[in-house]
Chains A and B, each alone.
Chain A
Amino acid sequence: MERLLIRFSLVLSLTALTFVACEDADDFNNVIEQVSCSDGMQNGDETGVDCGGICPECLDGLDFSGVYVQQDIAGRPAINSVLNIAGPFQDAFNRSIVSARGNQDFIDGANNQTFPGIFSENLQQYFIGYTINEQPASFDNNVLGFDIAGFAEFLATTDALQLAAEGTTTYRNTDLWFTGRNLSDDVMDTTLLLMFGGPEGDRFNGVNGPMLISDGVGPGDRQFLTDFPYLEAPLTQ
Chain B
Amino acid sequence: MSKIYTLISILSLAVLGLILSSSEQGDGPEVAYTSADIADFYAFRGAQSDKTVFVVTIQSPLSIGTVSQKARFDPEVLIEFNIDNDGDFKEDLVIQAIPRDSIMYFFGPSPVSEQQQGRSSEINVSDLIGSVQISSLEQTYVTQLDSISLFAGPRRDPFFFDQDRFTLIQNGTAAPEGFNAAAEALDAYADSNVLCVAITLPTELLGVAPTHVLNNYGAFNLPNAYNVWVSTKRKY
Contacts and interface: CB of A to CB of B under 8 A. Distances in A.
Contacts of A160: 82, 84, 89, 227-229
B198 A91 contact: no
A126 B172 CA distance: 7
Most buried by B among A165, A181, A187: A165
6 contacts: A57-B128, A65-B122, A71-B77, A88-B8, A161-B41, A180-B42
A136 interface: no
B31 A217 contact: no
Interface residues of A, number: 101
Interface residues of B, number: 128
A22 interface: no
B122 A235 contact: no
Interface string A142-185: 00111000100010011111111111110000001111111110
Chain A facing B: main interface SS:
loop
B125 interface: yes
B97 to A, nearest CB: 12
Given A74-B41, A86-B9, A215-B179, A162 B185 contact: no
Interface in B115-170: 117-123, 125, 128-131, 137-138, 140, 142, 149, 151, 153-156, 158-162, 165-166, 169-170
B28 A80 contact: yes
Interface of A: 56-57, 59, 62, 64-75, 77-82, 85-91, 93-95, 97-99, 110-111, 113, 125-126, 128-130, 144-146, 150, 154, 157-169, 176-184, 186-188, 204, 206, 209-212, 214-222, 224, 226-237
Interface string B200-230: 1001001011001110011010111111111
Contact of B158 (A97, A183, A235): A183
Given A86-B9, A180-B45, A99 B88 contact: yes
Contacts of A226: 47
